[in-house]
Chain A
Amino acid sequence: MSRTPIGMPGLRPGIGNLFAEEKFPSAARRELGNSQLRKNLKHATSTIRAKRLAVTGELPDWEELREAGSALKTSVMARLPELLEAFEANVTARGGTVHWARDADEANAIIHGLVTAQGVDEVVKVKSMATQEIGMNEYLEERGISAFETDLAELIVQLGHDKPSHILVPAIHKNRTEVRDIFLQEMPGVDPGLTDEPRRLAMAARAHLRAKFLTAKVAVSGANFGIADSGTLGVVESEGNGRMCLTLPETLITVMGIEKLLPTFSDLEVFLQLLPRSSTGERMNPYTSLWTGVTEGDGPSNFHVILLDNGRTNALADEMGRSALHCIRCSACINVCPVYERAGGHAYGSTYPGPIGAILSPLMTGIEAEENGSLPYASSLCGACYDACPVKINIPDILVHLRGKDVDAHRGGLPSELDVGLKAASWALSGGRRLAAVEKLLPLGRAAAGRDKKIKKLPGLAAGWTQSRDIPAPPAQSFRDWWAKEHKRP
């Protein structure tokens, strides 16, 4: 993948799986053709939407919780250097080792070094967005180390040689029949009589994974939270695979984005209410694992945490965009997004799909990188994401801000059809007399409409409109004209 160095001097753009390699509209067009995908997405997102609304609606202080979450994250971003150093000091004091990675390459190299130091060629993994973002599995694979996903959906994706398409439910694009087929083809020692009954599928995965849990010497995890004043890390999950990985192996390597910090342990009170209700639509997730450094005779004796920047500082440097770093990866915005529901996660290219991905990816990589400039346009600005976000990230405003950056980045080049059209419209719509002059042309539109009073085919960019909609013939008279000539004062 090519890397375009951009951004403020001294800032290092994010690399790894953060790129749309194809412009969103064309990727979306291809995905829209997959009717199975659309059916799965419609079913899954509408189910999870209803669950989320039920459990957020029952809390009388839900809006106050959102305010608190947003305020806490704003404070973390304002104090990030100080909190990171406190976190490092506390992890170190409790027997852990802290590493700093400026980008995906540095993080992967650190992980590789730590794994090879243990003399193993296998690691087990807790589901983690950070390791997806840096492409860790592929990096290790190329160097002879197998990383086994232990989350059921991640396992499905991995066995299917596929990419996740959702941050919470990575295999949302697969239905259970497709899952059974993947297991039959790819899972060693699987029962050839496996059916697509969910319980049977889960049991097959469990048998496959148990062996890995019991033999793995090294585990890699992400983190939902890092507590600055204690050095504690936290992972929330549903299946218990995370608990196994976090407690059984001798060595634990945790990769955490620098924005995941919370100032104090008591701040978890807010986030452990916001996260499960917003993500799985549960009052509480089944497993919450919290650990602090190393405890003799209890859990991994060799603990490392890698603090990952990979473009987060770039996002932080953007005054309008920095609140995107408040994201706690709950996926509520993805589940309510009408564009995601139809295009699916793969259309976004990046590890982060949906509304949050459409702002986070270009903020981390720079708007000019690859085709990430097309991502902020992947929204009708309906605002459902902002309403759903538990930490109140104003995604529509940031989308508009990033569209502005994209337009500005292309100024000075050959003007596009839209550039020309909107420049002309800017003139015409900057004065009542100008608009009145343009409205004198309305009869031309009436002539173009023909006998059935419909305009059915337009050229250029407007052909996008007429591919599925007509335009009615314009009126004989504008309102302005009617007002001046015919309106009788009462």
Chain B
Amino acid sequence: MKIALFATCIVDAMYPRAAQATVAVLERLGHEVVFPQGQACCGQMHVNSGYLKEALPVVANHVRAFESEDYDVAVAPSGSCVASVKHQHPMVARHAGDAALEERADAVGKKTYELSELLVDVLGVTNPAAQLGSYFPHTVTYHPSCHGMRLLTLGDRQAGLLRGVKGLELVDLPEADQCCGFGGTFSVKNADVSSAMLADKTANIRSTGASVCAGGDYSCLMHIGGGLSRQADTIGTLHLAEILASTETEPVAVPGPAGRTVKVVAK
């Protein structure tokens, strides 16, 4: 299968290792990955902040970029950005009165998958240890990001994949379904409420005793990781893709909260 990677702007610029891991996992399964060069961002920061006019060129660019390449399906290592592509892009076009763009956005959206959705529903990954050689000998807790959970109804897909990683012990996160408080510009416009939500999330993460908090969205992980780092905690954050890509021969390092590499202790 020919798979177009939508890296998302935050991963492209800040967490390239999540996109590299996505490429590694897909290639390991024998698929061809392409990277449409014109891509930049889904535009949800603009949409969610009420700047629909400013979101329009961002949305139009995404649609153009993912029309310019020939591929079977597109994938992004983010539930939130995929939800934006699927649900917000047609809305932004409609709001601007551009029916043609709305139709094109809808077509791109229909071909776009969140990573766990693609792996489980389309590519038939049921056993990451066997199918991908996934190996990560650490205690992990998992934060299911709101948009993946509620807008894409990913259900158990991400946690299920984590459970299938060799050596990984998954511990339940108390109040897992509670938002971490990121919310894009909410985190700065309502910084106090956002910080209070984050404090509860990091306290719950700490209570699990896990050495890593995993997730499917680097936006939320940047928020959670930023909080853990400020609280001088040693718990690191990792994207699902990085854990799936980790193998016995090439294990992913467990990062400390500020990107500091903590010594890997195999169990």
Contacts and interface: CB of A to CB of B under 8 A. Distances in A.
B50 A482 contact: no
A453 interface: yes
B127 interface: no
A479 B11 contact: yes
Nearest to B150: A383
A472 B229 contact: yes
B55 A469 contact: no
A287 interface: no
Given A380-B179, A490-B27, A472 B225 contact: yes
Interface residues of B, number: 76
A265 interface: no
A431 B61 contact: yes
Interface string A432-466: 10110011001000000000111010000110110
A28 B193 contact: yes
Contacts of A469: 187, 195, 198, 223, 226-227, 229-230
B227 A426 contact: no
A99 interface: no
B186 interface: yes
B58 A379 contact: no
B186 A475 contact: no
Contacts of B16: 475, 477-479, 482
B37 interface: yes
A430 B188 contact: no
Contact of B39 (A387, A432, A474): A432
A468 interface: yes
B258 A339 contact: no
B259 interface: yes
Nearest to A26: B192
A31 to B, nearest CB: 9
Q: Main SS of the interface on chain A?
A: helix
Contact of B229 (A342, A435, A454, A464): A454
B43 interface: yes
Given A379-B183, A400-B50, A426 B230 contact: no
A470 B226 contact: yes
Contact of B14 (A377, A429, A475): A475
Nearest to A403: B50
B198 A377 contact: no
Interface in A409-424: 418, 422-423
A6 interface: no
Nearest to B47: A400
Contact of B40 (A384, A387, A429): A429
A199 interface: no
Contacts of A461: 188-189
Contact of A422 (B45, B193, B196, B258): B45
Contacts of A490: 27
A407 B151 contact: no
Given A25-B190, A381-B186, A425-B46, 13 more contacts: A343-B193, A380-B182, A383-B151, A384-B150, A407-B51, A430-B60, A461-B188, A464-B194, A469-B229, A472-B258, A473-B259, A475-B16, A480-B37
Interface of B: 7, 9, 11-17, 19-20, 23, 27, 35-41, 43, 45-55, 57-58, 60-61, 65, 91, 95, 146-147, 150-151, 177-179, 181-199, 222-223, 225-227, 229-230, 257-260
